[in-house]
């Protein structure tokens, strides 16, 4: 059963999103890409990379499989297995990349269906995946022409398309400061006497350098306080995500849906997750089947349908021991 | 072999550029779809002998290449982006065996990387191919090609739509224009840079390279 299927999702940031492309001095820049506007000019618009979203799916697949196989309590996985599960593995030089061992490939994807979906390097050979994960487009006036028709209609029905904000309205700049505890007298009191003397000496040297304009001495005696700014997308920002999959069996199809469901239930992207950033929630979705006779659009709701994942979980449970041996043994990845 | 031999122009409209190290070849895209439809998932290995698949494009008189051009486009903008990899060291600590004691992220298997790549934005976000083949069959096959170029699995080179239409012809159509090759052609007299290239898919299998006349940007 070969299926070429595309899922599209509209997700909303329930926390600010900090997904950086780099820094300029102490300023973090949000990831951007060039988008051609209907008039022909290019604008750099913030977006979520396909790699970041794909990694979330890969992680969801890995945890879902380990959970179904009962391996999460005492995983004890090998380094190669972890690299394969969470990074897609690597070409190691062990094994023979010049030969396609179809039997071995069949064995592996039967044992561990996410390998077929996401691809990966095993036995020194990179294997193509069957999943294409689009860049996450921010819904804004600059990308409105790329928002799928169903999503435009859905947003119109919800009354959210009356004012589609520019990305500039959704991007905010915030400042965080890592304090230097030696600047706070109550913290300095916790130091040993010698250290208190040393810290006070440094503060005095800093003041003197400032007064005398000695930049070298000022640099040597400066505090470790680090104010920094960064760009983030505000809570409520909407993104369109797309995932396209080729599946060749009911098991792979079920695994794909289950992984998508698991990932969407706790989707987080970007950095600073420990300080209230990155959480996304599903708002609406659509499934597009590419078979000529079907070429239609189904809407999706926010829950994983009752039977999704049953086939996949049963498959993994049945082979739990075998999967455990494989993941704890030697994997060339 | 193509049942009908119509001169065709095939146009792909991209969402936001593609990572194109070389212009994609139309026959390789069609072979990829035929390969997948047959339920075959693994591409052949480098150096492995492979029989050309049946795609609806005409063969050249010499039978060594198909009558289709490489993608024709003029780059309007080049954009540098980066791909990152970080070792899953938190998972190493949480899920790994006791044998994993140290993860070196500066060298070896777990080295972190930040690799640049270039996204090409062609003029009008379109790529164009010229070919001789069966219009309906080509249209049917290209409709399953939704991404082009490298890094497709992370959404680069997404195709928003295809258009397959009859084309005007010119001397040398579809593989030459004003004597300049529009795809790698067996080496002979004529315009074009000389170099090594593959004449039939898979084009990435450099073990099958031979002396050729090369198109611009190859």
- List the single residue in A34, A85, A248 with the smallest CB-CB distance to B77: A34
Q: Is the pLDDT of residue A98 over 70?
A: no
pLDDT in tens, A188-242: 999 999 999 999 999 899 999 989 988 888 888 888 889 999 999 999 999 999 9
Extract the tokens encoding A252.
């792979």
> CA-nearest residue of chain A to B111?
A90
A66 DSSP 8-state letter: H
Mutate to test the interface with A, among B100, B103, B153 (most CBs of A within 10 A): B153
Q: Which residue has the higher pLDDT, A123 or B72?
A: B72
Placement of tokens 């001169």 in the chain: B7
Q: How close does chain A come to B23, measured CA to CA in Å?
A: 21
Average pLDDT of the segment spanning A292-316: 70
Q: How close does chain B come to A172, measured CA to CA in Å?
A: 22
Cβ separation B97–A77 shorter than 8 A: yes
Q: How far apart are CA A283 and CA A280, in angstroms?
A: 9
Mutate to test the interface with B, among A21, A63, A79 (most CBs of B within 10 A): A79
- List the single residue in B95, B147, B154 with the smallest CB-CB distance to A51: B154
Q: What percent of chain A has pLDDT over 70?
A: 90
A78 CB neighbours in chain B (<8 A) are 96-97, 99
What is the pLDDT, as a whole number, of residue A93? 65
- A11-15, A325-329, B163-167: lowest mean pLDDT where? A325-329
What is the pLDDT, as a whole number, of residue A106? 78
Q: Is the pLDDT of residue A292 over 50?
A: no
Cβ separation A78–B87 shorter than 8 A: no
Q: How close does chain A come to B155, measured CA to CA in Å?
A: 4
Q: How far apart are CA A123 and CA A291, in angstroms?
A: 34
B18 CB neighbours in chain A (<8 A) are none
Q: How far apart are CA B138 and CA B56, in angstroms?
A: 6
> pLDDT digit of tens for each residue in chain B (218 aa)?
546 899 999 999 999 999 999 999 999 999 999 998 988 877 887 787 888 899 999 999 999 999 999 999 999 999 999 998 888 888 888 888 888 888 888 888 888 889 999 999 999 999 999 999 999 999 999 999 999 999 999 999 999 999 999 999 999 999 999 989 999 999 877 777 899 999 999 999 999 999 999 998 78
Q: Chain A contact for B143, CB < 8 A?
A: yes
Q: Are the C-beta atoms of residues B13 and B160 closer than 8 Å to each other? A: yes
Cβ separation B36–A246 shorter than 8 A: yes
Burial class (CB in 10 A: 0-12, 13-18, 19+), A160: middle
Q: How far apart are CA A148 and CA A249, in angstroms?
A: 28
Cβ separation A49–B154 shorter than 8 A: yes
Q: Chain A contact for B94, CB < 8 A?
A: yes
Q: How close does chain B come to A179, measured CA to CA in Å?
A: 27
* Contacts of A94 by beta carbon, 8 Å cutoff, 6+ apart: A123, A124, A332
What is the pLDDT, as a whole number, of residue A30? 97
Q: How close does chain B come to A79, measured CA to CA in Å?
A: 7
Average pLDDT of the segment spanning A43-72: 94
Q: How far apart are CA A136 and CA A47, in angstroms?
A: 6
What is the pLDDT, as a whole number, of residue A297? 64
B180-211 in b/e burial notation, b at 16+ Cβ within 10 A? Answer: ebbbbbebeeeebeeeebbbbbbbebeebeee
Question: Which residues lie across from A45 on neighbouring strands?
Answer: A33
Q: Is the pLDDT of residue A331 over 90?
A: no
Cβ separation A77–B95 shorter than 8 A: yes
What is the ipTM score, two decimals? 0.89
Q: Are the C-beta atoms of residues B129 and B9 closer than 8 Å to each other? A: yes
Extract the tokens encoding B39.
């339920």
A6 CB neighbours in chain B (<8 A) are 146
- B 16-35 residues with CB < 8 A to A: 16-17
pLDDT in tens, B117-126: 999 999 999 9
Cβ separation B42–A100 shorter than 8 A: yes
Cβ separation A33–B45 shorter than 8 A: no
Q: Is the pLDDT of residue A97 over 70?
A: no
How far, in Å, are A92, A265, B130 from residue A136 at the CA level?
32, 17, 33
Q: Are the C-beta atoms of residues A233 and A166 closer than 8 Å to each other? A: no
Cβ separation B153–A54 shorter than 8 A: yes
- A17-21, A302-306, B152-156, B207-211: lowest mean pLDDT where? A302-306
What is the pLDDT, as a whole number, of residue A294? 46
pTM of structure: 0.90
Q: How close does chain B come to A80, measured CA to CA in Å?
A: 9
Cβ separation B41–A130 shorter than 8 A: yes
Q: How many CB atoms lie within 10 A of CB A41?
A: 8
pLDDT in tens, B60-81: 999 999 999 999 999 999 999 9
Cβ separation A78–B97 shorter than 8 A: yes
Cβ separation B16–A51 shorter than 8 A: no
Cβ separation B77–A6 shorter than 8 A: no
DSSP letters along A245-292, please?
Answer: EEESSHHHHHHHHHHHHHHHHT-B-SS-GGGT--BEEEEEEEEEE--T
Question: Which residues lie across from A48 on neighbouring strands?
Answer: A136
Q: How far apart are CA B34 and CA A256, in angstroms?
A: 23
Mean pLDDT (chain A, rounded): 88
Comparing C-alpha atoms, which of A135, A123, A133 is closest to residue A90?
A123
């Amino acid at each position: 059963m070969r299926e070429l299927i595309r899922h599209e999702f509209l997700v909303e940031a329930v926390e600010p999103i900090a997904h950086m492309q780099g820094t300029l001095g102490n300023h973090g820049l949000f990831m951007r890409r060039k988008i051609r506007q209907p008039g022909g000019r290019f604008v750099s618009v913030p977006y979520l990379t396909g790699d970041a979203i794909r990694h979330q799916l890969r992680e969801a697949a890995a945890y879902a499989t380990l959970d179904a196989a009962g391996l999460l309590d005492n995983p004890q996985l090998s380094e190669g297995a972890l690299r394969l599960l969470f990074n897609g593995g690597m070409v190691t030089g062990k094994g023979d990349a010049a030969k396609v061992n179809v039997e071995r490939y069949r064995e592996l994807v039967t044992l561990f269906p996410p390998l077929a979906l996401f691809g990966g390097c095993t036995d020194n050979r990179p294997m193509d995946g069957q999943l294409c994960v689009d860049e996450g487009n921010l819904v804004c006036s600059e990308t409105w022409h790329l928002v799928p028709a169903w999503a435009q209609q859905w947003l119109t029905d919800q009354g959210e398309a009356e004012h589609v904000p520019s990305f500039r309205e959704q991007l905010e700049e915030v400042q965080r400061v890592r304090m230097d505890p030696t600047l706070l007298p109550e913290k300095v009191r916790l130091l040993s006497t010698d250290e208190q003397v040393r810290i006070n000496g440094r503060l005095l040297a800093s003041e003197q350098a400032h007064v005398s304009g000695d930049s070298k001495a000022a640099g040597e005696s400066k505090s470790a306080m680090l104010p920094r700014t960064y760009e983030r997308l505000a809570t409520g920002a909407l993104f369109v995500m797309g995932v396209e999959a080729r599946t060749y069996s009911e098991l792979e199809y079920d695994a794909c849906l289950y992984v998508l469901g698991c990932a969407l239930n706790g989707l987080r992207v970007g950095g600073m997750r420990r300080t209230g950033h990155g959480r996304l929630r599903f708002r609406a979705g659509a499934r597009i089947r590419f078979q000529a006779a079907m070429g239609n659009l189904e809407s999706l709701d926010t829950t994983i349908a009752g039977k999704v994942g049953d086939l996949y979980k049963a498959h993994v449970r049945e082979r739990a021991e075998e999967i455990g041996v494989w993941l704890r043994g030697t994997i060339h990845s | 072999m193509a049942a009908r031999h119509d001169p065709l122009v095939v146009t792909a409209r991209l969402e936001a550029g593609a990572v194109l190290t070389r212009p994609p070849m139309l026959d390789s895209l069609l072979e990829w779809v035929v390969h997948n439809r047959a339920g075959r998932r693994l591409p052949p290995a480098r150096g492995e002998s492979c029989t050309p698949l049946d795609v609806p494009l005409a063969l050249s008189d010499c039978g060594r290449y198909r009558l289709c051009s490489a993608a024709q486009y003029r780059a309007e903008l080049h954009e540098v982006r980066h791909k990152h990899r970080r070792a899953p060291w938190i998972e190493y600590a949480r899920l790994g065996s006791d044998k994993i004691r140290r993860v070196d992220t500066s060298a070896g298997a777990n080295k972190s990387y930040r690799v640049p790549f270039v996204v090409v934005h062609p003029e009008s976000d379109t790529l164009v191919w010229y070919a001789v083949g069966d219009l309906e069959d080509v249209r049917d096959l290209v409709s399953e090609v939704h991404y082009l170029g490298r890094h497709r699995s992370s959404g680069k080179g997404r195709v928003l739509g295809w258009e397959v239409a009859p084309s005007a012809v010119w001397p040398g159509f579809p593989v030459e224009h004003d004597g300049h090759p529009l795809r790698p052609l067996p080496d002979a007299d004529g315009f074009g840079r000389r170099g090594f290239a593959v004449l039939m898919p898979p084009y990435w299998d450099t073990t099958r390279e031979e002396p050729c006349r090369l198109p611009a940007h190859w």
